């Protein structure tokens, strides 16, 4: 189709375009390689099936904003086919051979997909352009109070305009060019319904005009690609490559909240946490390039939605813009996110869970905390009491270890010394052992265990804090000491199974102690209660006065450890009427206590996180709010009192005891 001169000019244009594209790509690779650690390439083969589903079906995208997600998928599916379509167009331009045109059924299907998905792509890009530039919803930007790179507010819009224009021009020109080809052939192609319909408009044109128009559209279509390629590494469109790489190569984690191990016995370590971008892991730097700037993480962030200055999206955007505009890897992290925002994070994991490209802004924030606390001793002063308590008395409440079993007075709760071979080791947790409200949950669970005839034991005064709050606040030194001591004790006990009433304890024992040599089977008390009910060892009344209950999913039970069904099944077995909150299971809203927020004052905002969550529970019309975490119990009970509402806040174990038949053990 192209003349010899055109072929030479086109080839030269491709070489120039690829040269500048190569420079941009190598610049990105250099930035990522400057991060800590190296990727494990063998993970690709382990994840290939999951990768195909995520990339081919855009499954992560559909979890939020259904309408825009459909439009995005139309664009994505179109691009997946256009890799082959553009190759076919290039072959035709240079040889006159139409790839897959006369290959029977396969060629027919190819042309149908190219036709339909090409049209769908145009629908998708026009729809998203209308949303961004005409409707301009607030969820595609961030507040003025949030730290954002000075070039980003206009730059994101400009980048979106460039990308949208490229996609529209490229695909419109390709559609028109193919329609001129079909019109020139003079035969309607039923396997290209959209293109054939457009071709009908050119029925009166002569062959020379159609051929000239076809050639012009090739230059516009493929020319747009050539012109766009050097800009591609600087645009948000680069997520097309880095999103799949993110899914394929992210380090293996037992949970989205599992943090990387720091061996404090290694005297050669000079930097703890992330003071600058070069202190981040290679995958954390890659997050900046994978980010699509959709601001979904911001929309689900409990800090941002209660009008605090933290925006996980702004952090990723700032990283990208800093790198794109000549910044080096030595930039301080606090130039990319404010210190106030760093301490507003509840480590709920909502930003990580919802991200359609697998980014982990929460991990950056917790690494910054490590640097602030360990390297600079900068942290909210309210945390000092919790730190001192964990250092002196092995619990953040700073209660003497001698008082660790006072909660169990009058109950049959054997220690490991009295029952050295239990079927279940109950990890009571600091809250249940020291906090007056949480003790009621522990007492209820003890009654359930005894009623069911469970062979269990507790560590008693040998049990210490798991160190969760210290680790989330950046105090790896405190966490390291507590974890090392706990693992030593647990390995000596060698428990068959560990049950805990605290999701934070569950998460730490299950997901973070393996790095210290502690590998245990750990379950939540709602899971164990569900087992007992299923085995008939606990029988519940289902015909008495009905509760109406809404269940609050604790972040470290649900999102972090994917335990959603057990607490609901227990409530169903108890005959209560369960009403779900709008945000539930993996999309549940935080109570506000995680990330060591329990021990400090909340950053300024329009409302407190726990109050926002309690209002959501109250609006269900339920008379009882069920929880499965002592931190959630404290935060939501406080919100209930502040609200003056009569809604009761109870642990699932308490509700079970209230509905438990006498003499149910077997």
- Owning domain of residue 103: 41-137+151-248
Give CA–CA dist 569/558, Å, rounded.
14
Same domain, 192 and 331: no
DSSP state for residue 576 in the 8-state scheme: P
Same domain, 556 and 641: yes
Residue 146 belongs to a domain:
no
Boundary of a domain, candidates 497, 531, 565? 531
pLDDT at 666 over 60: no
Same domain, 118 and 217: yes
Same domain, 480 and 460: yes
Per-position DSSP letters for 230-295, written without gaps between them: TTGGGSGGGHHHHHHHHHHHSPP-SSTTPPPP--TT-TT----S-SBGGGSBHHHHHHHHH-----
67's CB contacts (< 8 A; 6+ apart) are none
Same domain, 474 and 575: no
For residue 147, the tally of other CB atoms under 10 A from its CB is 18
Residue 2 belongs to a domain:
no
pLDDT at 71: 95
Mean pLDDT of 504-533: 98
The pTM assigned to this predicted structure is 0.94
Average pLDDT, the chain: 94
Residue 358, domain CATH: 1.10.1060.10
User: Do residues 578 and 572 lie in contact, with contact meaning Cβ atoms separated by under 8 Å?
Assistant: yes
Residue 479 belongs to a domain:
yes
pLDDT at 663 over 60: no
pLDDT at 43 over 80: yes
Nearest residue to 35 via CA among 344, 276, 387, 352: 276
pLDDT at 186: 83
Task: Supply 505's token pair.
Answer: 């304890």
Nearest residue to 552 via CA among 666, 628, 455, 663: 628
Residue 51 belongs to a domain:
yes
Residue 28 belongs to a domain:
no
pLDDT at 204 over 90: no
Helix%, strand%, coil% for the chain, nearest 5: 60, 5, 35
Same domain, 524 and 563: no
pLDDT at 544: 54
Same domain, 594 and 463: no
Same domain, 428 and 308: no
Residue 311 belongs to a domain:
yes
pLDDT tens track for 252-270: 999 999 999 999 999 999 9
pLDDT tens track for 586-632: 999 999 999 999 999 999 999 999 999 999 999 999 999 999 999 99
Domain count, the chain: 4
User: Do residues 620 and 550 lie in contact, with contact meaning Cβ atoms separated by under 8 Å?
Assistant: yes
Q: For residues 286 and 110, which has the higher predicted lDDT (pLDDT)?
A: 286
pLDDT at 278: 96
pLDDT at 665 over 50: no
pLDDT at 452 over 70: yes
pLDDT tens track for 290-319: 999 999 999 999 999 999 999 999 999 999
Residue 620, domain CATH: 3.40.50.10700
pLDDT at 131: 95
pLDDT at 543: 63
Mean pLDDT of 275-295: 97
pLDDT-wise least confident of 31-40, 409-418, 653-662? 653-662
pLDDT at 111: 87
pLDDT tens track for 56-98: 888 899 999 999 999 999 999 988 888 888 888 888 899 888 8
Residue 144 belongs to a domain:
no
pLDDT at 641: 92
pLDDT at 226 over 50: yes
Same domain, 329 and 222: no
Boundary of a domain, candidates 375, 393, 419? 375
| Residue % of the chain over a pLDDT of 90 | 86
| Residue % of the chain over a pLDDT of 70 | 98
What are the two backbone dihedrals, phi and then psi, of residue 99, each rounded to the nearest 5 degrees? -60, 130
522's CB contacts (< 8 A; 6+ apart) are 427, 497, 498, 499, 500, 506, 509, 510
Task: Supply 473's token pair.
Answer: 């606040």
β-bridge pairing 548-551 and 624-627: parallel
pLDDT-wise least confident of 227-231, 326-330, 355-359? 326-330
Boundary of a domain, candidates 375, 399, 423? 375
Mean pLDDT of 105-121: 90
Same domain, 100 and 239: yes
User: Do residues 524 and 646 lie in contact, with contact meaning Cβ atoms separated by under 8 Å?
Assistant: no
Same domain, 601 and 572: yes
What are the two backbone dihedrals, phi and then psi, of residue 499, each rounded to the nearest 5 degrees? -115, 135
Same domain, 50 and 186: yes
Residue 1 belongs to a domain:
no
For residue 429, the tally of other CB atoms under 10 A from its CB is 26
624's CB contacts (< 8 A; 6+ apart) are 547, 548, 549, 550, 576, 647, 648, 649, 650, 655
Residue 483, domain CATH: 3.40.50
pLDDT tens track for 499-516: 999 999 999 999 999 999
């Amino acid at each position: 189709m192209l003349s010899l001169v055109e072929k030479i000019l086109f080839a030269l244009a491709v070489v120039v375009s690829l040269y500048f594209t190569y420079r941009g790509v190598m610049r990105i690779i250099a930035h990522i390689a400057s991060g800590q650690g190296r990727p494990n390439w063998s993970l690709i083969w382990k994840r290939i099936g999951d990768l195909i589903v995520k990339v081919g079906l855009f499954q992560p995208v559909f979890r939020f904003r259904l309408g825009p997600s459909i439009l995005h998928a139309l664009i994505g599916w179109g691009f997946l086919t256009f890799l082959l379509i553009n190759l076919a167009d290039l072959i035709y331009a240079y040889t006159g051979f139409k790839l897959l045109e006369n290959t029977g059924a396969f060629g027919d299907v190819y042309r149908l997909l190219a036709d339909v998905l090409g049209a769908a792509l145009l629908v998708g890009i026009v729809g998203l352009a209308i949303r961004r530039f005409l409707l301009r919803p607030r969820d595609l930007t961030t507040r003025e109070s949030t730290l954002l790179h000075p070039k980003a507010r206009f730059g994101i819009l400009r980048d979106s305009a460039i990308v949208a224009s490229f996609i529209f021009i490229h695909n419109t020109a390709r559609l028109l060019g193919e329609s001129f080809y079909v019109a020139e052939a003079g035969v309607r192609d039923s396997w290209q319904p959209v293109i054939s319909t457009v071709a009908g408009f050119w029925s009166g044109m002569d062959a020379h005009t159609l051929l000239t128009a076809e050639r012009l559209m090739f230059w516009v279509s493929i020319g747009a690609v050539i012109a766009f390629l050097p800009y591609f590494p600087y645009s948000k469109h680069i997520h097309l490559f880095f999103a799949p790489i993110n899914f394929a190569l992210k380090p293996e984690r037992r949970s989205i909240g599992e943090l990387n191990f720091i061996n404090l016995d290694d005297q050669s370590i000079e930097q703890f946490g992330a003071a600058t971008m070069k202190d981040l892991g290679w995958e954390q730097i890659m997050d900046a390039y994978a980010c699509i700037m959709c601001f979904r993480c911001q929309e689900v962030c409990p800090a941002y939605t209660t009008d605090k200055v933290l925006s996980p999206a702004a952090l990723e955007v700032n990283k990208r813009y800093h790198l794109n505009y000549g910044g080096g890897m030595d930039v301080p992290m606090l130039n990319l996110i404010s210190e106030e925002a760093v301490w507003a994070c509840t480590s709920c994991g909502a930003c990580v869970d919802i991200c359609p490209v697998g980014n982990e802004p929460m991990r950056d924030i917790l690494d910054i905390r490590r640097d602030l606390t360990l390297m600079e001793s900068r942290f909210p002063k309210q945390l000092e009491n919790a730190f001192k308590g964990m250092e002196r008395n092995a619990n953040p409440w700073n209660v003497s270890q001698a008082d660790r079993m006072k909660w169990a007075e009058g109950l049959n709760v054997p220690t490991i010394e009295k029952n050295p071979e239990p079927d279940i080791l109950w990890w009571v947790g600091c809250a249940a052992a020291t906090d007056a409200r949480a003790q009621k949950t522990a007492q209820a669970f003890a009654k359930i265990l005894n009623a069911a005839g469970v062979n269990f034991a507790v560590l008693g005064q040998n049990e210490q804090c798991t160190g969760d709050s210290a680790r989330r606040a950046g105090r790896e030194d405190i966490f390291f000491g507590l974890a090392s001591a706990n693992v030593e004790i647990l390995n000596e006990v060698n428990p068959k199974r560990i049950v805990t009433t605290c999701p934070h304890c569950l998460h730490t024992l299950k997901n973070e102690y393996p790095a210290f040599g502690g590998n245990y089977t750990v379950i939540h008390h709602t899971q164990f209660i569900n087992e007992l009910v299923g085995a008939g060892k606990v029988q519940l009344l289902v015909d008495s006065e009905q509760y109406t209950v809404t269940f609050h999913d604790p972040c470290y039970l649900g999102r972090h450890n994917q335990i959603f069904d057990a607490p609901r099944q227990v409530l169903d077995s108890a005959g209560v009427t369960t009403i779900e909150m709008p945000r539930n299971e993996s999309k549940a809203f935080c109570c506000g206590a995680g990330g060591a927020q329990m021990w400090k004052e909340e950053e300024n905002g329009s409302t407190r996180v726990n109050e926002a969550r309690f209002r959501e529970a109250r609006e269900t019309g339920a008379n009882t709010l069920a929880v499965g975490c002592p931190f959630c119990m404290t935060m939501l009970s406080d919100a209930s009192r502040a609200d003056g509402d009569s809604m009761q806040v109870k642990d699932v174990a308490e509700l079970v005891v209230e509905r438990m038949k006498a003499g149910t053990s077997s």
